Chain A
């Protein structure tokens, strides 16, 4: 594996933030996606959705202003932005499943070339595992982005021909943003849109478990 710098988790989040349109209703999952709210481009308002019944979450609450009845899906006290609302969990998931969210961003263990996602259980891991809202979100978001490292800690590809981990959903991923590339899942294959500075497409293909294609020009990942 080439020993070259890759994007940090924060830089992946920063790049993903650029995919969010002004005024969008957006759900952010655990892991890298949870960092995205800190990197919204200036002048953009996004209404962040939480599965426990909040639309319009603002920044995390600072010390002294926390209200533990107003927490996000990770139990962290949050603030609200003007226009926010509360509702119960069934309506929160009616929004995820019913196609009402413009964009959802989830973490991933594996994504297949067909856009299948595995993100809730590592085979052989101890304990019960837990699904949470991931399957509802994967099934229903208008656009599903997965943010993850391109390879496992051991260097194995996380973008694969077929997922071997327990699945979250079939053919649900639209775009994959990793520490090496931005890739769109298209009917004709995994189309590379951008690659990390200093890397070549051939080097990234080496670290990918399914064939990559390009639709014309591939540009350098931009995350500032």
Chain B
């Protein structure tokens, strides 16, 4: 069996280079890989492209990396009212932003995961989102072409992993995590608990092990706000 379980957080992010494209799971304070984010911030990487629904809650979630000026470009749907450090860097033009409708963010990642080269959608037609995108009419509807979003790494938070990398999630902490797990070249899962192979009922697996490359156990962190 391939060894996927890492001993600690610093080891699991040790080879992540400057300039990496990284997806970060989480929504509404739930399901954020906060321990992995802190480990990456500690490592001191620079010029990261972050793909994430939002841009942090104060110093929590991605906030710490914006505070440290480690992120250069963001693809996000809703930076958020509490993304203080992102907004400061954005106003200072130290970080660039591509705003994407939330469901289209999901589908562009899923297209990458599924080996699709893009798709047409009515979402965003006639809005700022359509700027510079190919438009055509399909089934009498105006549509724009959306391209896949790829990433070198996905940082995700799950509840439980077996040693092979099969994952389960808890309640609505699932959110973006299973999609990002499928879309990145290397997926790193921060989990509350690691169990032996065979102890998760196959019918209860949400993310199959084929999508998970590294696993690390850490007690989840949550940021209020």
Q: Which residues of A contact B (CB under 8 A)?
A: 50-54, 67-75, 86-90, 92-94, 96-97, 116, 126-136, 139-140, 166-170
Contact = CB atoms under 8 A, between A and B. Distances in A.
B127 A51 contact: no
Interface residues of B, number: 51
Nearest to A168: B127
Contact of B28 (A72, A92, A116): A72
B101 A67 contact: no
B179 A90 contact: yes
Interface in B81-104: 86-87, 90-91, 97, 99-104
A135 B124 contact: yes
Contacts of B120: none
The A interface is mostly helix, strand or loop, or mixed, namely: loop
B127 A169 contact: yes
17 contacts: A68-B30, A86-B171, A88-B179, A90-B107, A93-B102, A93-B106, A93-B107, A97-B103, A127-B79, A127-B91, A129-B79, A130-B78, A132-B78, A135-B102, A166-B127, A169-B123, A170-B126
Contacts of B103: 51, 89-90, 92-94, 96-97, 133, 135-136
Nearest to A167: B127
Contact of A131 (B27, B30, B100, B121): B100
B123 A89 contact: no
B58 to A, nearest CB: 13
Contacts of A89: 27, 53, 102-103, 106, 175-176, 179
Contacts of A97: 103, 121, 123
B38 to A, nearest CB: 19
Contact of B77 (A54, A87, A96, A130): A130
A89 B24 CA distance: 13
Contacts of B173: 69
